[in-house]
Amino acid sequence: MKPSIEHIRELNPIEKIAGEYTKLKAMGEVLRGKCPLPAHQETEPSFTVYPDSQSFYCFGCRRGGDVFNLVMYREGFDFLEAVRFLAAKANIPDEELSEELIALVKESRAIEDALTLAVEYYRQLLIAEETSAVVEVGEELHTEGTVQL
Ligand SMILES: [Zn+2]
């Protein structure tokens, strides 16, 4: 069986990958640390990792997503490069990434982009008052925006 995107995601828990980029501290259900993303220098940790939904969100630079998005932001990769990078980390050789997977990767990226735009749209609407309720809504939207393959 060829490795699917979901399989690659499972082999790369976001808390592990994020933990390689920044020092994370457990705070209840989530992990917090200083944002490791480019163009965001901070002193207060606002980078938050959600192991339950395998996602992250930075309250400072307002970037978030799943483990693929994390390496895309951090390494400047496109989605396919991120998949390859994480596959390599999970010891899945590049040649095992089938043509179908590569086609799928491109397709799902397009879907995900559309969903990310939708999430961002709602986030912008809600940005004015940053209550905890607003944050929850944003996270729900984000979770729904994650494409399951
Ligand atoms: Zn940030």
Q: What is the CATH number of the domain that holds 97?
A: 3.90.580.10
Mean pLDDT over 111-135 rounds to 67
Strands 64-65 and 30-33, by their bridges, are unpaired
Residue 82 has pLDDT above 60, yes or no: yes
Residue 60 has pLDDT above 60, yes or no: yes
What residues contact residue 70 under an 8 Å CB cut-off, 6+ apart? Answer: 14, 17, 18, 21, 56
Distance 67 CA to ligand 1 centre (A): 15
Q: How many domains does the chain have?
A: 1
Phi, psi at residue 60, to the nearest 5°?
-85, -55
The rounded Å distance from CA 42 to ligand 1 centre is: 8
pLDDT in tens, 23-57: 999 999 999 999 999 989 888 899 999 999 999 99
Highest mean pLDDT among 63-72, 85-94, 97-106: 63-72
d(CA 81, CA 90): 14
| Cα 45 to averaged position of ligand 1 atoms, centre (Å) | 9
| Averaged pLDDT, 5-31 | 95
What pTM was computed for the model? 0.68
Expressed in angstroms and rounded, the spacing between residue 3 Cα and the centre of ligand 1 is: 31
Domain hosting residue 74, numbered range: 5-145
Q: Tell how far the Cα of 59 is from the centroid of ligand 1, in angstroms.
A: 7
Residue 21: phi and psi, rounded to 5, are -95, -30
Least confident among 40-54, 58-72, 101-115: 101-115
> Which residues have CB atoms below 5 A from the ion given as ligand 1?
35, 37, 40, 58, 60-61
